[in-house]
Structure 1
Amino acid sequence: MDFAFDARTEELRAKLLAFMDEYVYPAEPVAAEQRAALPSPWDTPAVVEELKAEARRQGLWNLFLPDGEYGAGLTNLQYAPLAEITGRSPQLAPTATNCAAPDTGNMEVLAQFGDEQQKKQWLEPLLAGEIRSAFAMTEPEVASSDATNITTLIERDGDEYVITGRKWYISGAMDPHCKIFIVMGKTDPDGPDIRRQQSMVLVPRDTPGVTVKRAMQVFGYEDHYHGGHAEVVFDHARVPVTHLIGEEGGGFAIAQARLGPGRIHHCMRLIGMAERAIELMCRRAVSRTAFGKALAQQGVVQNWIADARVAVEQLRLLVLKTAWMMDTVGNRGAHTEIQAIKIATPRTVVDIIDRAIQLHGAGGVSQDFPLAELYAGARTLMLADGPDEVHQRSLARRELKKYL
């Protein structure tokens, strides 16, 4: 395993770091001020569109997509250090570079499983950043940590599918630019293979019977920059059968293909979030005095900073190994490593951000620093894309299997 950055990665890293310093960090307070003046909290601040235009001009666009026909054609190993950089400003940088969830996963699904018409109608405008999208899988009435539990029905009626069900925490659905939902439901609820009961269909937002009921908060935040998280009701919503993605019964497999890259992308960005927290911690420690000496001279603070640095270096190496394995043996071959980073990264980064909050005192939980919002985002990722306990259960079974 060689984790040295190649020439293309080094070039993109340099451009992205300069883009962050020159455009993204200065835009953070501007975006907050502009958003407060917008008629709707879900409208996009003008500075975000300016960032997107500049990122596209500089070639910092669709970096996540390994398919060279549609994206930058980078490997996971090449993309990892770039995603880490954008993770330092998770509200602005991923959106500015068109590398924000859930659009990234939806574009991957369409690129890999969509037919030519679906790609033309939905993938192309997503790649251009002209529209946003949502992925509708999680449901409030069942334990969605087990995707086979979903109860939304996708029933064939002649040349149409009829979708009936209720979803929640549907990321991106509050954004007025969200024009398409990828909906997972059951086309064969009584089928003998529980992993072949589900399918995915494309449902335009303006389809009769689709109602975005409300925004769901996450630790009190509405996550405006990523289009929020919504409760959505599908009440006999009808779409043509041509809106099926892949084949009937292929929904579970498509979801697994979608979530593998999504999980590592989250972990890449989480490392950037941890680096931002460490930087803020160090700046605070050298600038504040308590009980007669700088916080940086307090032993407990030094321990927090040292432990954080060790933890981040460990996580980065594990994420890079996982990216390398995904590139060399495929997502299935890297399954154990993907689960390992999904378990280790959020919980460790939550702890680092928590220490940074503590060091900032009351300021740490305020809107004057990004730490509280970073904490909410990192803590949520202990649930998103499968809760930690599900991954621990699966990983343990794989380990035990060697001895049975």
Structure 2
Amino acid sequence: MNFDYTEKVKNYQDKLKEFMEEWVYPNESVYEDQLKSQESRWDGTLPIMEEMKAKAKEQGLWNLFLPDDTYGAGLSNLEYAPLCEMMGRSLIGPEVFNCNAPDTGNMEVLARYGSEEQKDTWLKPLLQGKIRSCFSMTEPEVASSDAANIEARITRDGDEYVINGRKWWSSGAGDSRCKVAIFMGKTNPDAQRYEQQSMILVPLDTKGVHIRRMLPVFGYDHAPHGHAEIDFVNVRVPKENIIWGEGKGFAIAQGRLGPGRIHHCMRLIGAAERALEDLCKRVQNRVAFHRSLAEQGVVREWIADSRVDLEQARLLTLKAAYMMDTVGNKQAKTEIAMIKVVAPNMALRVIDRAIQAHGAAGVSEDFTLAAQWANSRTLRLADGPDEVHRRQIAKLELSKYKE
């Protein structure tokens, strides 16, 4: 395995670093101020974000996540890793470059499995950053870590499908720009276990779609993005809205979640790297008991442990990305599962140390640490909880020793 960055990637790194320093970091507070001052926190058309997105497009820093150069930059997972990490240093960073979840995963689904009509209607405006989307899979009434438990129904009725079910944690649905959901539900409850589910496109302005409430995370509403609980009541959409075909929901989910999981991990490494930088800067400028915090032995342990944690997580992420590129997502499933456990827990440890070093300031809104910690904690659940990934890792490990 060779993890050296190509000249193409180095060029993107230089451009991204400069862009983050010139545009993203200085405008994090501007973004928050504009969000607070507008009439609705769920109006996603913030002037500063639109200005940054236009600049990113001009500089060719757009849709870098898609490996298909028909739609994206044509970067492999390994090439995209350091760029995604850099974007993840800021919570608003990914959207600036149109590399934000869940739109990235939904665009990948449409690019890989969508019909030409679906691509024209939904993929193109998503690629242009004109609209947003959400992914409606998780349900409040069942343990959705086992997707086979999902009870929502997608029933064929002539030239239409009728959709019924309640979904929650549909991230992005609060945004006024969110126009479509990819909905997962059962088309045939009597089929084999992993052929019961399908995915279908549901425009959010369709009759019968009701956003019940937005769900805060540790008190953060994450506006204008947000996480919605949505009722789908006798929602009718054309039969052409089914993605790939009936019974393909699990196959699509596996294709979607591999890249989605590793992208989360890449961004988490960026968040942790920035937290460590903040920690190191802070402790050299603060004095307690006649010595700088940087001279305190326990603080140096925090710094050393954080660097070790970061490098281990980064190397495993790169290995998983390399395997996805060379042998495919299926063969890389152990590495994807491992990094999905490692990265969120690593980020939580590093960010927590940075919070501690900042004292009370660390839990305030004056720094990004508290918000990044809350975001990292959600990723021990999103795209599968730690326990499910550990179960998969153990199962694959045991399979090596069956007689």
- What range describes the TM-score normalised by the shorter chain of this pair? over 0.9
SS of corresponding position for 2:111: helix
**Could you report, residue by residue, the CA deviation over 1:276-311 in whole angstroms, capped at 9, with x for unpaired residues?**
100110111011111111100100000000110111
Structure 2 equivalent of residue 286 of structure 1: 284
Structure 2 equivalent of residue 259 of structure 1: 257
Q: CA RMSD in A?
A: 0.7
Question: In the aligned structure 1, how far is the partner of 2:333 from the partner of 2:152?
Answer: 28
| Aligned residue type for 2:88 | G
Structure 2 regions of 5+ residues with no counterpart?
A: none
| Aligned residue type for 2:33 | E
Aligned ranges 1:5-404 → 2 under 5 Å: 5-44=5-44, 45-89=46-90, 91-191=91-191, 193-225=192-224, 227-404=225-402
Question: In the aligned structure 2, how far is the partner of 1:212 from the partner of 1:124?
Answer: 25
- Post-superposition shift, 1:222? 1.2
SS of corresponding position for 1:273: helix
SS of corresponding position for 2:303: helix
Question: In the aligned structure 2, how far is the partner of 1:58 from the partner of 1:224?
Answer: 27
Range with greater deviation from structure 2 (135-144 or 27-36) = 27-36
SS of corresponding position for 1:94: helix
Question: In the aligned structure 1, how far is the partner of 2:294 from the partner of 2:159?
Answer: 68
SS of corresponding position for 1:195: helix
Question: In the aligned structure 1, how far is the partner of 2:289 from the partner of 2:223?
Answer: 40
**Could you report, residue by residue, the CA deviation over 1:43-62 in whole angstroms, capped at 9, with x for unpaired residues?**
23210111100000000000
| Aligned residue type for 1:395 | I
Question: In the aligned structure 2, how far is the partner of 1:258 from the partner of 1:177?
Answer: 22
| Moved beyond 6 Å, runs of 4+ | none
**Could you report, residue by residue, the CA deviation over 1:344-387 in whole angstroms, capped at 9, with x for unpaired residues?**
11111101111111111111111111000000011110000000
- Post-superposition shift, 1:190? 2.1
| Aligned residue type for 1:21 | E
Question: In the aligned structure 2, how far is the partner of 1:217 from the partner of 1:151?
Answer: 24
Give TM-score, length-normalised by structure 2: 0.99
- Post-superposition shift, 1:223? 1.3
**Could you report, residue by residue, the CA deviation over 1:176-200 in whole angstroms, capped at 9, with x for unpaired residues?**
0000100000000122x11000000
Give TM-score, length-normalised by structure 1: 0.98
Percent of aligned positions that are identical: 60
- Post-superposition shift, 1:33? 1.1
Question: In the aligned structure 2, how far is the partner of 1:321 from the partner of 1:399?
Answer: 18
| Aligned residue type for 2:53 | K
Question: In the aligned structure 2, how far is the partner of 1:139 from the partner of 1:99?
Answer: 26
- Post-superposition shift, 1:109? 0.2
| Aligned residue type for 1:350 | L
- Post-superposition shift, 1:251? 0.5
Number of positions where the alignment pairs a residue of Structure 1 with one of Structure 2: 401
Structure 1 regions of 5+ residues with no counterpart?
A: none
